Amino acid sequence: MIEKESKEIYYAHSSDNLEKSWQTLLEHLCNTAEIAKKFASKFNVSDFGYICGLMHDLGKYSQQFQEKLKGKAIKVDHSTAGAQEVIKLYGEKIGKLLAYCIAGHHSGLQDYGTAASSEGTLFSRLNKIIEDYSAYKAEIDMQSIKILPGLPITPVDQKYLGFTIAFFVKMLYSCLVDADFLDTESYMADKMKPRGNNLSISQLNDKFNRYFAQFICEETKINKRRQEILEQCLKMSKNPMGLFTLTVPTGGGKTYSSLAFALNHAQLNNLDRIIYIIPYTSIIEQNAKVFKDVLGDENVLEHHSNYQFDINNSEDIYSIDEKLKLASENWDIPVVVTTNVQFFESLFSNRSSKCRKIHNMAKSVLIFDEVQMLPIQYLKPCLLAISELVKNYRSTAIFCTATQPSINDLLPESVTPVEIMENPRKLYVDFKKVSVIKKDEIDDDTLAEELNNYEQVLCIVNTRKHAKEIFKRLKGEAFHLSTLMCPVHRKEVLEEIRKRLEPKNRKVCRVVSTQLIEAGVDVDFPVVYRSLAGIDSIVQSAGRCNREGKSKEGKVFVFKPISEYAKVRGYLERTGKVAEMIFRKYDDPISLEAIDDYFKYLYDLEGEEALDKKNIIECFEERRSGLEFDFQTAAERFRLIENNTYSIIIPYDEKAMELIEKAKFTSYPRSIARKLQPYTVSIYENEFKDLCQNGAIKVINNSFLVLENPEINYEKFTGLNIPKNTYGEAIFA
């Protein structure tokens, strides 16, 4: 590209700071092009990234846009120009793929549409009459623009060719919008914190090895097996990149072992980061803490879906402050701990703020903890997306669980998983520390009476409402856990529980919890009661019983509750029914054979259509021959949490009060939002409305929902008070 002589100066960004020069348009285009080129080079399409960056803001060369920057109150479409230009340059195929990215770099990736479409489609944008932007020819020499090659990607399956191409568009789009954000951030450097300065993967691997060299565990049979598992993971990390399964019994130390695999594998293959994906928002802090303790706080980002400051679907956003405060993280950090919701909804989103991070999923190790928790109604598109990352974007994926779902038949033939453990069945026998006993139906009073007969016992139920009701009936030193308690509160309760469970203390400890305690919470009870649920959930419950193998055998009692507070519907009800089938067939309902059968029965019961219930894949296959994809429709359909939810900040302690006070006046809500995450409780829309009607919620800084009168609306033992009859079911645990 060659700059030509130009009398008039065109600008990309203005500034309210009188001492700060406005950013020229040519500078912004060149900077964005170079950054996008670097990002796209990770999957060998650097020239595609460069063109997207160079052409994305051509519409800012219009006189109308320049007048807008100077304060004139007009709306200007500045994204369509570049989209139309790349069609002229590169034709209907390659040009169209670039046009999706450029046209949507503010408003989001759009559906292609038809001749009858309204303005919000790519078809209508490509046929729109727009302001004259030809002034770009005075600054950009189009003769220097490179010819683009064909796409260097391979379909994971020929019948999903459209999905493969659309996934490429999403990756390229991510490179563009992140580059655009970063150059804008750089322009505003006097207001933004510097990025980077993290340790390399190699340095983190060394740090991990030093940590474990001085880590001393009590010499027990269980700890010896955990060490063997870690060593096997290190051995298998030398394998070529691809898809792996890690089948390790609960309590086998798979968190540390999978991290050991990931760090060594990433170092050997020159990968950029490790992304650890977990099922529950409620346990993200504790998983992140494990990594932070080993690798350092500054190298680990915990990022979930409690706060999303999405950019408005509008071209009319020219305030840089607004643009940056609404931008979400781009995951440019060595270790990310996130949730299924954040990971997959980002992959299937069409919004720039959510898609910004996607390109950083390339050249990564992706660890899916408790992979059986992948949502069954979206299982096929989720597995296809993971397969794309493995096949075309130089990533390795690991499916970690004690209960591997039967998904081999659902994966494309070109992606075959490799098991990391040599003999998972022998491991199951080595780690078998409990017996699972099926009880008859039981009412709440009888259940509470049985629990009160034990000094130390854990009861896990399916709904928050049921947990509260059982807790009311417990005697003596009793504890309650659910996501109606903010994370700081839950952490305090868990610390007290763990103290009481220590052999040197042996204090009375009766606990009732929702399923949040099942995944990754390190507690060790001699007896566990579990309300009927899927076999995978029962296995996780068993992992909280006799965890360290200090008793000859722990007892896990599975009961069917008779209670108006315990009713579950839909998927949770169906998994319970399939579990009852497994109990009738197997003496040991949590053996690997039983687990395999459980998932086969479940997938058969749900049917193949249920594995892509919202027809996400169809959005990219129905009109793939014309590259006519429905990005916006797919994004609207793909919602792991179907109900609208709201994050309520709890003024739980003095630190929370200080942060709330800062949040009232900050220009950058996201910086405060992350600090407030430990004080948030997520609730459903109907619960939110009822709290509002009771005057229990206030809004601050147009961004945060804060609980009013916590002394009335938040209980010491059970957390947020929800008005009767408005409890959500078990999604939040």
Domain boundary assignment for the chain: 11-187, 201-425, 432-591, 645-720
Question: Ranked by mean pLDDT, which of 144-148, 235-239, 286-290 comes out on top?
Answer: 235-239
pLDDT (tens digit per residue) in 643-660: 678 899 999 999 999 999
Which pair of tokens denotes residue 701?
């800084």
Confidence of residue 196 (pLDDT cuts 50, 70, 90): low
Q: Distance between CA atoms of 451 and 366, rounded to whole angstroms?
A: 40
Confidence of residue 626 (pLDDT cuts 50, 70, 90): very high
Least confident of 49-63, 302-316, 628-642: 302-316
pLDDT (tens digit per residue) in 253-278: 888 999 999 999 999 999 999 999 99
Amino acid letter at 206?
D
Which pair of tokens denotes residue 125?
């944008």
Q: What pLDDT is attached to residue 335?
A: 93
Q: Distance between CA atoms of 176 and 195, rounded to whole angstroms?
A: 18
Q: Is there a shared CATH topology between the 201-425 domain and the 432-591 domain? A: yes
Confidence of residue 7 (pLDDT cuts 50, 70, 90): low
Average of per-residue pLDDT across 582-588: 95
Q: Half-sphere exposure of residue 317, counting CA atoms within 13 Å on the CB side?
A: 20
DSSP type of residue 312: P
In this predicted structure, the answer to whether residue 327 has a pLDDT above a threshold of 60 is: no
DSSP type of residue 142: G
In this structure, what are the phi and psi dihedrals at residue 362, rounded to the nearest 5 degrees? -75, 155
Give the dihedral sign, CA 285/290/296/302. Answer: negative
In this predicted structure, the answer to whether residue 581 has a pLDDT above a threshold of 70 is: yes
Which pair of tokens denotes residue 219?
């010499």
Q: What pLDDT is attached to residue 189?
A: 66
Q: Which CATH number fits domain 201-425: 3.90.600.10, 3.40.30.10, 3.40.50.300, 3.40.50.10190?
A: 3.40.50.300
Percent of the chain with pLDDT over 90: 62
Q: Distance between CA atoms of 85 and 184, rounded to whole angstroms?
A: 23
CATH 1.10.10.10 correct for 11-187: no
Q: Are strands 554-562 and 527-531 parallel, antiparallel or unpaired?
A: parallel
Which pair of tokens denotes residue 643?
């109900």
In this predicted structure, the answer to whether residue 114 has a pLDDT above a threshold of 80 is: yes
Q: What pLDDT is attached to residue 314?
A: 41
In this predicted structure, the answer to whether residue 16 has a pLDDT above a threshold of 80 is: no
- Other residues' Cβ atoms within 10 Å of the Cβ of residue 493: 17
Average of per-residue pLDDT across 148-165: 90
Q: Distance between CA atoms of 679 and 647, rounded to whole angstroms?
A: 10
**pTM of this prediction?**
0.86
Average of per-residue pLDDT across 111-119: 83
Q: What pLDDT is attached to residue 222?
A: 80
Which pair of tokens denotes residue 525?
């009870």
Q: What pLDDT is attached to residue 367?
A: 97
Q: What pLDDT is attached to residue 538?
A: 94
Q: Distance between CA atoms of 268 and 700, rounded to whole angstroms?
A: 48
Strand partners, 396: 365
Name the residue among 285, 661, 249, 235 with its Cα closest to residue 431: 249
Q: What pLDDT is attached to residue 313?
A: 41
In this predicted structure, the answer to whether residue 290 has a pLDDT above a threshold of 80 is: yes
Q: Is 305 left (phi over 0), alpha (psi -120 to 50) or beta?
A: alpha
Burial track 264-297 (b if 16+ CB lie within 10 A, e otherwise) = bbbbbbebbbbbbbbbbbbbbbbbbebbbebbbe
Confidence of residue 195 (pLDDT cuts 50, 70, 90): low
432-591 belongs to which CATH class? alpha beta
The secondary element (H helix, E strand) that includes residue 433 is: none
